[in-house]
Every structure is written in C-alpha cells, then in structure tokens.
Amino acid sequence: MNAPFRYKGYDVATAAQRLPNGLYAANLTIGTPPDNTRSFYAVDYFFDEEHALAYAYRWARMWIDEQRHCA
C-alpha cells in the first residue's frame, strides 16, 4: 500500500493486491471526511506492483476531477 494522500479535498489510499496468477490488481479508496468513502477494487491488472500503484493513483485523480467537473 502506498502512503495515503489528499487531492482536492479528498483522502485517497491506493494499494496493489497480488493475485494467485502473479498479477497485481490496482485498488483504491477515495473519501471526503467524515464518512463519505468509496472503494474501487481491481480497476485494472498489472504485471508489476509499481505500475498498479501508479495507475490507481492516476485513476483516483481522474475520478476526483470528473466528480468536481460534474458537480
């Protein structure tokens, strides 16, 4: 798991879960204090843990930007 970070008022935690087939699933949790939290599991799969974490980080930023754009 990467260190949690804040992006545009959202708390974000990313993780790469190693699967039995050797791939890594990119997972993340996005929340706004105090209790509005959403978790996204296996948004994509990667051969490398670092790539899974980087993708989860990018995916979180895109999701947050889209939410703010639609609001």
User: What residues does each domain of the chain span?
Assistant: 5-70
Tell me the per-residue pLDDT of 27-46, one tens digit each, with 9 for 90 and over: 999 998 778 999 999 999 99
Please identify every stretch of the chain with a pLDDT value under 50, giving residue numbers as ranges: none
pLDDT at position 39 is: 95
pTM: 0.88
Residues 6+ apart with CB under 8 A from 47: 22, 23, 24
Residue 45 DSSP label = E
5-70 CATH pick, 1.20.1740, 1.10.3470, 3.30.460, 3.30.160:
3.30.160
